[in-house]
């Protein structure tokens, strides 16, 4: 059973939502490989299902649509599923899912490895977090009902690199800083120190 600890004060993301008010302390214990493109064994399996793209970042992808189409070679009418999922914890108030084609996300680089959107950003000198969704960049952490927790794929071990490398928190600490700032990290770092509030 998960141990959930309340933060001293809730912290909203840079977009206002999601807000983190609690943390599942297993984020300080569970591990994953972290350095995706150095992995030699997963074959991009976590890209098999597509990803939720919050509506704020969907709009940004569409704003750059012409350049992304030219770079990826994937026409924009193949990018997203039709269904919009309403969710008040998502920036923009909801999300759409990227389409899956031939067993993988439409943005998977099938000639090499990794995410074509991420590579587009790197090659164009754009911060990838301004284009890729919060859910994507924070995986395998998630925020559900204001609780920072491992994604389901960690707990059910369908993420093949579970158990290897840094903890979820250490591996994604800089992403958490980008989205939630030092106000969150200051509280989480206190919990993560042996002898701190979490361990007392």
CA angle 96, 10, 167 (to 5 degrees): 70
Instruction: Quote the pTM value.
Output: 0.91
The SS3 assignment for 143 reads: strand
94-97 and 52-54: which strand pairing? antiparallel
What is the mean pLDDT, run by run of 10 residues, along the chain of 200 residues?
A: 92 98 96 62 68 98 98 97 96 98 93 90 97 95 97 81 82 97 97 64
CB 136 within 8 A of CB 124: no
Residue 160 CB neighbour total at 10 angstroms:
16
pLDDT at 193: 77
Instruction: Tell me the CB-side half-sphere exposure of residue 73, using CA atoms within 13 A.
Output: 4
pLDDT at 200: 44
The SS3 assignment for 116 reads: helix
pLDDT at 121: 97
**Each residue of 128-152: b (16+ CB within 10 Å) or e?**
bbebbbbbbbbbbbbbeebbbbbbe
pLDDT at 43: 59
Quote the CA–CA distance of 30 and 45 in Å, as a whole number.
Answer: 19
pLDDT at 199: 47
């Amino acid at each position: 059973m998960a141990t959930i600890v309340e933060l001293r004060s809730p912290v909203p993301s840079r977009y206002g939502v999601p807000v983190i008010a609690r943390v599942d302390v297993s984020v300080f214990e569970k591990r994953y490989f972290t350095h995706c493109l150095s992995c030699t064994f997963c074959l991009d399996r976590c890209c098999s299902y597509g990803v939720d793209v919050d509506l704020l970042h969907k709009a940004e992808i569409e704003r750059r649509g012409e350049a992304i189409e030219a770079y990826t070679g994937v026409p924009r009418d193949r990018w997203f599923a039709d269904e919009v999922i309403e969710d008040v914890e998502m920036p923009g108030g909801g999300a759409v899912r990227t389409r899956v084609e031939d067993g993988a996300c439409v943005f998977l680089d099938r000639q090499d490895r990794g995410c074509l959107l991420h590579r587009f950003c790197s090659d164009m000198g754009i911060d990838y977090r301004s284009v890729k969704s919060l859910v994507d960049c924070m995986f395998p952490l998630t925020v559900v009902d204001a609780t920072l927790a491992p994604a389901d794929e960690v707990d059910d071990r369908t993420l093949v690199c579970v158990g290897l490398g840094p903890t979820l928190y250490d591996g994604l600490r800089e992403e958490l800083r980008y989205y939630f700032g030092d106000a969150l990290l200051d509280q989480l770092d206190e919990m993560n120190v042996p002898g701190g509030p979490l361990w007392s």
